[in-house]
Structure 1
Amino acid sequence: MPNSQAIKENIPYLRRFARSLTGTQKSGDAYVRLLLEAAQSDRDLVAQMASGRVGLYGAFCKLQRSGTVAAIGETKAVPLQRQALLLTTMEDFSAAETGEILDVSASDVDTLVAEALAVIDGEGAARVLIIEDEPLISMQLEGLVEDLGHEVCGMAATRDQAVALAEAQGPSLVLADIQLADGSSGIDAVDDILGSANVPVVFITAYPERLLTGERSEPAFLVTKPFHEATVRAAISQALFFAT
């Protein structure tokens, strides 16, 4: 398979990581573009990026650590502990793979993740609005959010319900599905909510690649269905990290 095709297949998922690492679609996608531009004149970098997800993410993290990306604009620095947590949960890398990406040992990764979780355990509670049309998934998310020490301030299955609850309850975080019960869009519901409130949002979808094209307005924080508790936990914490 040509190098360009091998890289292309993994770029959407690198965008997901880059956005969660920087807190915005704009900054995350800008980092990815910078990496691709650098690869145009560096055959060794292309070979590394084409070797698989570990090589691609490793090249990205090395670039992100290099300090050569100031032109992208200021972003809140994410501690190495959080980077390790994102890689092992949202991106599903092993400790050994994460260590290779971050240039640390696998045992160091375990320590970093434990430190990140300790910080999360000490975070304050958020008021969470859940936008989800599947009752079982909605209840699962409700239990998960409450187990993490947050408060569910409302649960909506349609765009109109979501907007009304957001206005009435003033959530400090939104968890949103993409497709809703009446055929409406969770993205449209969130756009309506963000029109009058500045609140972090985590989207949950079975088709993440559709929202990782870099071609339109897309989420900064994205969880793939079926999801694991650790993944949702990391995504919630990262969204709140950038909201403070």
Structure 2
Amino acid sequence: MTSTEPRDFATSVAANVPFLRRYARALTGSQDSGDRYAAATLEAVLLDDTAAKSTPDAKLGLFRAFHLVWSSAGAPVGEADTRLSARAQSHMADLTPNTREALLLHVIEGFPPADVAAIMGVSTDEAIEFIEIARREMETSVAGRVMVIEDEAIIAMDIVSIVEDLGHGVTGVARTRTEAVALAASNRPDLILADIQLADNSSGIDAVNDILAQFDDIPVIFITAFPERLLTGARPEPAFLITKPFSEDQVRSAVSQAMFFASTETLAA
């Protein structure tokens, strides 16, 4: 091993930590729980980097190490600290084992089925089956009202079409921070899907913060070309991020995941 290899490995791991944290939070449904297992993974890698270095791909190795840590703990979800998160965890209990992990790894993190299999320690055929089962179970579990904050008309139309195809209603599309706050006040959504940069140079993040100041427990999916900018360790952080340019599968998966985990009373109506 050359003197630069440890440094190169550490650099590669550090570059992929934001994405591991994104995955861990979406997987556990909790920022605190996700970060705890991400940190435990880094500690495990420092003690023994065998799993992380089992593949030339640093991200794949890091995620493999995470799964060894998370699985050894019993593959837990986050602790239910509110009534809504407790209801969401009751949904989680009904999922076929291993399907949520496979879907997140494949659609949100972009791992092909063979890599999903390597991370989870299953065969490629099993990974493919898990992904398909998760799609069916999550998309049919809950339906609700989705608000879209997006200033590009074509992108907004695509998002609305995908959301409606999943069986959800769309409360409307807002192009600016002011429009978004007014739309939410007039028709409270069950889920917000928000771009970062809006038409008048206002911020989708500020719009969401304004809305969440009025309403509690609305899950949010952010769309951004730079997801690492939202994965800073500050609180709160979004559990669901879609990277631009996005695919239909990414939107479908994120919406289904967010609705499924952060389900509210209105979704049962």
- From 24, 47, 52, give the equivalent of 2:53: 47
Alignment of 1:42-81 (within 5 A): 42-45=48-51, 47-48=53-54, 51-67=57-73, 74=79, 76=89, 79-81=97-99
Alpha-carbon contact 1:127-1:153 (below 8 Å) kept: yes
Structure-2 residue corresponding to 1:11? 17
Q: How big is the shift at 1:33?
A: 1.4
Q: Give distance in 1, aligned partners of 2:155 and 2:53.
A: 41
Q: So what's the TM-score if we normalise by structure 1?
A: 0.91
Alpha-carbon contact 2:51-2:61 (below 8 Å) kept: no
Read off the aligned partner of 2:177 and give its amino acid letter: R
- Summarize deviations over 1:126-152 as a string: whole Å, max 9, x none: 100000111111111111111111111
Structure-1 residue corresponding to 2:218? 199
- Matched position secondary structure for 1:113: helix
- Summarize deviations over 1:177-234 as a string: whole Å, max 9, x none: 1111112111111111111212111111111121123245321110001111111111
Q: Give distance in 2, aligned partners of 1:141 and 1:238.
A: 16
Structure 2 gaps, min length 5: 81-88, 264-269
Structure-1 residue corresponding to 2:86? none
Alignment of 1:73-92 (within 5 A): 74=79, 76=89, 79-92=97-110
Percent identity between matched residues is 48
Read off the aligned partner of 1:21 and give its amino acid letter: L
Q: How big is the shift at 1:157?
A: 0.8
Read off the aligned partner of 1:192 and give its amino acid letter: D
Q: Give distance in 1, aligned partners of 2:224 and 2:49.
A: 36
Change (3 A) 1:50 1:73: farther
Alpha-carbon contact 1:4-1:50 (below 8 Å) kept: no
1:243 aligns with 2:262: yes
Q: How big is the shift at 1:46?
A: 5.4
Read off the aligned partner of 1:161 and give its amino acid letter: E
1:132 aligns with 2:150: yes
- Aligned residues: CA RMSD: 2.2
Read off the aligned partner of 2:160 and give its amino acid letter: E
Structure-1 residue corresponding to 2:243? 224
Q: What number of residue pairs does the alignment pair up?
A: 243
Alpha-carbon contact 1:48-1:56 (below 8 Å) kept: no
Q: How big is the shift at 1:85?
A: 0.8
Structure 1 gaps, min length 5: none
Alpha-carbon contact 1:158-1:182 (below 8 Å) kept: yes
Q: Give distance in 2, aligned partners of 1:69 and 1:58.
A: 14
Alignment of 1:29-44 (within 5 A): 29-44=35-50
Of the structure 1 ranges 208-217 and 14-23, higher mean CA displacement relative to structure 2 is found in 208-217
Read off the aligned partner of 2:232 and give its amino acid letter: T
1:100 aligns with 2:105: no
Structure-2 residue corresponding to 1:21? 27
Alpha-carbon contact 2:147-2:171 (below 8 Å) kept: yes
Q: How big is the shift at 1:105?
A: 0.4
Q: Give distance in 2, aligned partners of 1:183 and 1:29.
A: 32
Of the structure 1 ranges 104-113 and 210-219, higher mean CA displacement relative to structure 2 is found in 210-219
- Matched position secondary structure for 1:195: helix
Alpha-carbon contact 2:52-2:58 (below 8 Å) kept: no
Alpha-carbon contact 2:45-2:65 (below 8 Å) kept: no
Q: Give distance in 2, aligned partners of 1:31 and 1:7.
A: 15
Change (3 A) 1:50 1:94: closer
Q: So what's the TM-score if we normalise by structure 2?
A: 0.83
Of the structure 1 ranges 99-108 and 73-82, higher mean CA displacement relative to structure 2 is found in 73-82
- From 226, 231, 252, give the equivalent of 1:233: 252
